[in-house]
Amino acid sequence: MSFLIGLAAGLFGGLFGLGGGVIMVPLLAGILKTGLHKASGTSLVALVFTGVAGTLIYAFKGSVDILASVLLASTAIFTTRAGAYVAHALPEWKLKRFFGGFMLLVTLMLLLKPYLNSGDDPAAGLPKIIILLLTGALTGFLSGMMGVGGGTIMVPSMVVLAGITQHTAQGSSLLAMIPAGGAGALTQRRLGNIDTGILKGLIPGILIGTYLGASLAYILSESLLRILFAAVLIWTGVGYLRTPSDKGVACNYFQEGDNEG
């Protein structure tokens, strides 16, 4: 089952220039019952392989901006660790709610993708560098906290604010995920949030799925897949947002006890 989860995550990750964590984390937590903390940590390890496989395909097509990737990763590797520690300190119900909100943000970004064309006067020089550094810092934190690659923030920022083409933004995002995901994975390992047994099936699925997804990105229209993907994300994200708090669960428990008495 972990192989199929990796295959699905890699396919969408390669196709959209994402890490695939928005698919991987809920599937690991929901199907394999790993718990959200461990699912997020394990996902970060797999994201490194998503980045490697996806970058190779996009680079072969000439769609990777190495300088942009370096700028994104240079701040992301620091904030990723901070995000991992924040996630570890949060109770699972809060992390689920944060993840639910993040998934709805991902959905919005995916639905807006066709309209995110580079502006007439995109940033250049120092403003462009600042945009990429700030984008890397934000996405690094989200990556460490949620176990996702952060491409949903990186790609639109590069396209809209920095004037980078869609395919190049996706390829550059995947490259930036390699060091950022690695830094977060090391932190999650120290915190005990990685299931190495799942990785044995997850990584091969990720590699195959990412290759297929990145290849399809140059062949197929994204429209239908994006809509279907968005529907899945909305359903899952709303479910996570409705996660009851520990206090709510405790109240329900005592109420049931009183009724029985």
Q: What percent of the chain has pLDDT over 90?
A: 0
Confidence band, pLDDT 50/70/90 cuts, at residue 19: low
Q: Which amino acid is at 144?
A: G
C-alpha torsion 175→28→107→246, nearest 10:
-120
Q: Which of 54, 69, 37, 57 is nearest to 188 (CA)?
A: 37
Tokens 């049931």 sit on residue: 256
Q: Which one of 48-52, 104-108, 251-255 scores highest in mean pLDDT?
A: 48-52
Average pLDDT (32-57) is 80
Annotate 1-46 with three-state secondary structure.
Answer: CHHHHHHHHHHHHHHHCCCCHHHHHHHHHHCCCCCHHHHHHHHHHH
Q: Determine contact, residues 140/77, Cβ cutoff 8 Å.
A: yes
User: Could you give the CA distance from residue 137 to residue 141 in angstroms, rounded to a whole number?
Assistant: 6
Q: Determine contact, residues 140/84, Cβ cutoff 8 Å.
A: no
The one-character DSSP state at 161 is: T
| Cα torsion angle, 111, 145, 15, 131, sign | positive
Q: Tokens for 197?
A: 């047994």
Q: Determine contact, residues 92/37, Cβ cutoff 8 Å.
A: yes
Q: Which of 228, 208, 243, 184 is nearest to 26 (CA)?
A: 243
The pTM of this model reads: 0.66
Q: Tokens for 42?
A: 């394990």
- Parse the chain into domains and list their residue ranges: 2-260
pLDDT, mean over the chain:
75
Q: Which of 158, 69, 150 is nearest to 117 (CA)?
A: 158
Q: Determine contact, residues 42/194, Cβ cutoff 8 Å.
A: yes
The CB density around residue 93, as the number of other CB atoms within 10 Å, is 17
> Per residue in 167-194, pLDDT tens?
788 788 888 888 877 877 887 788 887 8
